[in-house]
Structure 1
Amino acid sequence: MTFSSRLQRFRRRGGAFVAAQFVLMALVAGGGRRHNRVGAVQRAAGLVLLGLGGAVMVGSGRTLGRNLSALPEPPDTAQLVTSGLYGQVRHPIYSGILALGLGWALLRGSASALGWTAALAALFHFKSAREESALLARFPGYAAYRRRTKRFVPGVI
């Protein structure tokens, strides 16, 4: 397979979402460089969100195992996972990344990191919609799972 054909396949499977996601994640991280004075409560909230976000990402990645892909198009060998954190939300890795971004913005007192995290949340909304279209087409049980499980925050969103 040539580089050109691999690139075309990456684009067809939603690679633009992945590229934008990593750019925004870098902007969140870079947006936290300036350390404004933050109070103890804000610092503690930031640390809690960083820890929670990291734990959610790692736990969700382990639950997915070989099904894990950064692309919104599931791998050819993918199976539907509805256990673990996926029993609570449909996209816990995205939730974990957003918690990390929010925690970083709070910890650093960074309005720009907060803004880039909001942009990342918007991207995840559209990326997850693309992903869910593919999952609906592939797995007959996905429609029922989607009806009973929130997208990003249990019982809320």
Structure 2
Amino acid sequence: MITGDPTTRGRGLVAAQMALIAALVLRPRRDRWRRRPRGLLRVAGGVLLAAGAVVGGLGARRLGPALTPMPQPRPGATLRTDGVYGVVRHPIYAGLVLGAVGRAATTGLGRHVVAAGALVGVLTLKVRDEEVLLRERFPDYDAYAERTPRLLPGVGARRRPPPA
């Protein structure tokens, strides 16, 4: 259950999300005391950034005109359960998390690590609110959530055994 007005809370979460994304995207100023990550950490960060862009982009594309930054589904939207939405329930948020962690890994800046962690927290709240609203709107959402992980493939879905 969402306490308070879901639209007001949704706007606050979107504002926090955008501010944290901006903190991650803005070019870091020179810091002569910081050592830039090298080698495997930097490569892994780049891979995570690219994976986040692909996963998030696929999710946004699949939603099409139903895409909204707000947790409330748009009027007339349908529940998407195929494509990337058949792998995870929230691919755009998963992409944002992957990208944020990748950015923090590639820059090595403490402020990016903090912003990535804070973004995970904001998106966790947003996902919870969004799922309440999706359950209210779509009667099939519980069955979809039963078989599909929230953010990471293989993590979080309560898969039922196949019928005998």
Percent of residue pairs identical: 39
How far the C-alpha of 1:67 sits from its partner, in A, is 1.4
2:54 counterpart residue number? 55
| 2:54 partner SS | helix
CA contact (8 A) 1:89 1:150 kept: yes
Note the alpha carbon deviations across 1:18-65, whole angstroms, 9 max, x for none: 111101111223485556321211111111111111111111111111
| 2:79 partner SS | coil
Q: Distance in 2 between matches of 1:102 and 1:29?
A: 12
Match status 1:150 vs 2:149: yes
1:18 counterpart residue number? 14
Match status 1:95 vs 2:94: yes
Unaligned runs of 5+ in 1: 1-8
Q: Distance in 1 between matches of 2:66 and 2:27?
A: 32
Unaligned runs of 5+ in 2: 157-164
| RMSD of Structure 2 on Structure 1 (CA) | 2.0
| 2:70 partner SS | coil
How far the C-alpha of 1:10 sits from its partner, in A, is 9.2
| 2:112 partner SS | helix
2:135 counterpart residue number? 136
Which contiguous aligned blocks of 4+ residues in structure 1 show a shift greater than 2 angstroms? 9-13, 28-37
TM-score (norm 2): 0.83
Alignment of 1:22-41 (within 5 A): 22-30=18-26, 32-33=28-29, 34=31, 36-41=35-40
| CA distance 1:109–1:116, shift in 2 (3 Å) | same
Flag the structure with higher helix content. Answer: 1
- Which amino acid in the other structure matches residue 21 of structure 2? M
How far the C-alpha of 1:151 sits from its partner, in A, is 1.1
- Which amino acid in the other structure matches residue 25 of structure 1? I
